[in-house]
Structure 1
Amino acid sequence: MAEVQMVDADERRTLIAELEKYNFRVSSPDRPLFTKEPNSSMVPVLWKAGDIAEQLEQIGSRLKLQAGGARRTLQLSNPGLPYGTTPTFWVSIQYILPGEIATAHRHMASALRFIMQGEGADTTVDGEMYQINEGDLVLTPNWTWHDHEHKGSEPMVWIDVLDISLVRSCHAVFFEDFESARQTPNVIPDESYRRFGSGLMRPLRRPEPKKYSPLLAYTSAMSEEALRQAAGLDPDPYDDVILEYQNPLTGESALPTIGTRLQMLRPGTHTRAHRHTGSAVYYVVRGEGATIIDGRRFEWAKGDFLALPPWAVHEHLNTGQSEAVLFQVNDIPALEKLGFYREQPA
């Protein structure tokens, strides 16, 4: 049935208009349900660090941090979509000033924070409190209470990722404010990190299994050391050196619907081209290079963001003299669980 040429196309268009008043439809020649391969309206977009910094100054001076879901964020909007950065998730950049509190709430969407710059803030997730610093990854699994407070002296910036587009498409949005601005931390405020933070060992008595990682904070020191060790292995043909943040109990992705990866492209690297179902967004932690998406070259450098549409042929290059490191977020875990993931060399 894929991409069938409808010989009765004109008659179908007429019928669609006639049947609409009865809430009926017939298959449309203009909007086929089945296509030979994915045909996403999402487009590749490159957001430059200089533009991001300028607009963060704008929202920092003009917008207030308010209770509820109204955070001060710069949302990376994809012009090919009605909302969101990709078909399943939204990437935003949060800007929080010294002394501010992002008040506690919870929502059905899963979320994560990757710290771009600054220090002096902490985040609390279901009573677990962590100091967050540049390069750290902090998880906010769905329906967990979370809040943030900035106790430092300079503005702090981090990436917010939520699978809100996926949740909205399932008509499963829930949101709730906490009874106060902040939660009371647990007696052992960093219990999950003490249990699983080594990345290598764990207590014999395991906690009740959950759908997400019991480790809520992944430090920059831990991830960078793991990446350095992996650089001694044979390169991945499509990504050079790449690691996934994992659930230490199951070995699966840290969140069930959002994939998180850290990638290194060594000097002189030019990866092979491939494509896969699922969308991705890259943040350039350091270095410079280029990604070629469906024949179009995107030059990137430290602080830039790049959106990759589903099933787009892509390859990466390091064009600098030192290593380039990218933080990647994707929706591959969700597609794998649904049986929709497919990968193909180009």
Structure 2
Amino acid sequence: MSTKTTTSVTHYHVQKSRRKKFVEDWRQNWRTIVRVEDAPLVPTERGSRVGVYVGADGDRQTRTMDALVHEIDPGVTTTVHRHSWDAMVLVVGGTGWFEIDGERIEVGPGDSLHLPTWAWHRAGVDEDPAAGDMSPLRYMTFSSEPMLETMGMSVLEDAGHAEFATLPPRPPVAEGAPGDDPYARRLRRVARQQQERRSGRLHTSWDDLELLNTPRGTRTTFLLDKAIGYQASGITMAMFEIGPGRRQSMHRHPGEAWLYVLDGTGHSYEGTEPEGGRDYPWKKGDLIVVDHFLWHQHFNDDPDNTAKVVRIHMFDSLLETMRVLADPLVLFEEPPDHIRDQQAGDVSTIEWPALQRPTWP
């Protein structure tokens, strides 16, 4: 028996209305600067406190990545959970540990971590009154959950306080049999990808960072990226430092870019053209949101101290796909070298301070 599926209006009108509403909601909830005060911490059943900078669980929607802040008190261990997306962690205050598929990693301010897809993980802070430090562990997470949700593949599993040895492993992957048919090739290709992703790096210590000067007026380093051994879903995380009273050169690209202010005060220019846009002030703990294809430039307003900013985007997956689809359009654009160098100034004249772990607040 067959049935007919009909609507009172054509598919054209349904889709047009749906798309219009999404864009209107997006614009209504857009923020260029999300203040640290805009992400109040709320107790959760995991044992941590969580605040939403950007994400569907707050009031600022996104389609690619979310940005959350977490705190764990001394003596507390969160529940263990896993999910179908991966997440990047940036520790901004306190000390503690993460346990990823049974591997314990001690962390401190400035450290970064990768929580892989389907990896069981939890975090905690050991209570040690004799040490004299009773501050909570505070960290940011940036995950690809919104993109997975868009495709109907967002899955979250919480196992409470179960021991890792009792938990099921990550989903198995068939290695595939010899052969040159399309299915055999697919089995082997997917198996290779999963083997690579499941053998990626998990932790970058602040003490191991080395910042290098760039032509854009900053010194910078990777925190999480395939260039230093990580196997993620395309989210990359790098830190750049702006000299006292200096600035980064202007550029633009599609997609969202997020910049978490690890230390310092300053402002960012954003506009549809290199001139005539707006300046947005920021401070430590704020999140700078760069909208798609806006010219933008970041300034350190402190004449005596540097500013440290952590940049997060999905360049190695979403943006690279957009570049291929839109080719030959230029989707990452900088001004000509002579203008770029004039904007950036001579970074060799900056006396960079020794790199000290960040503190919170």
TM-score by length of 2: 0.67
How much identity, in percent, do the aligned residues show?
19
- The SS at the match of 1:21 is coil
1:1-346 residue pairs with structure 2 within 5 A? Answer: 20-21=7-8, 24-25=11-12, 41=27, 43-49=30-36, 51=37, 55-56=40-41, 59=42, 63=43, 65-67=44-46, 72-77=49-54, 86-119=62-95, 121-152=96-127, 153-178=134-159, 180-183=161-164, 209-211=195-197, 214-223=200-209, 226-227=210-211, 230-231=212-213, 235-237=214-216, 240-246=218-224, 254-294=231-271, 295-320=277-302, 321-340=304-323, 342-345=331-334
Match of 1:203 in 2: none
The 1:335/1:259 distance shift into structure 2, 3 A limit, reads same
Aligned 8 A contact 2:89 2:114 in 1? yes
Aligned 8 A contact 1:147 1:182 in 2? no
> How far did 1:317 drift?
1.1
The superposition leaves residues 300-331 of structure 1 with CA deviations (integer Å, 9 ceiling, x where unpaired) of 22222211122121011121122111112112
Count of residue correspondences: 280
The superposition leaves residues 235-279 of structure 1 with CA deviations (integer Å, 9 ceiling, x where unpaired) of 332x6223333556x657652321111111112323332210121
Aligned 8 A contact 2:90 2:113 in 1? yes
* Counterpart-to-counterpart distance in 2, 1:32 and 1:169: 14
Task: Give the letter aligned to residue 333 of structure 1.
Answer: D
Match of 1:205 in 2: none
> How far did 1:23 drift?
5.9
The 1:84/1:126 distance shift into structure 2, 3 A limit, reads farther
Gaps of 5+ in 1: 1-18, 34-39, 186-207
Which one has a larger percent helix, Structure 1 or Structure 2?
A: 2
Gaps of 5+ in 2: 1-5, 21-25, 128-133, 167-193, 272-276, 325-330, 336-361
- The SS at the match of 2:333 is strand
The superposition leaves residues 39-86 of structure 1 with CA deviations (integer Å, 9 ceiling, x where unpaired) of x7473432334x269x33xx3xxx2x424xx8531001379x996554
Match of 1:202 in 2: none
* Counterpart-to-counterpart distance in 1, 2:205 and 2:79: 23
* Counterpart-to-counterpart distance in 2, 1:162 and 1:318: 28
Aligned 8 A contact 1:78 1:86 in 2? yes
- What value does the CA root-mean-square deviation take over the aligned residues? 3.3
> How far did 1:289 drift?
1.6
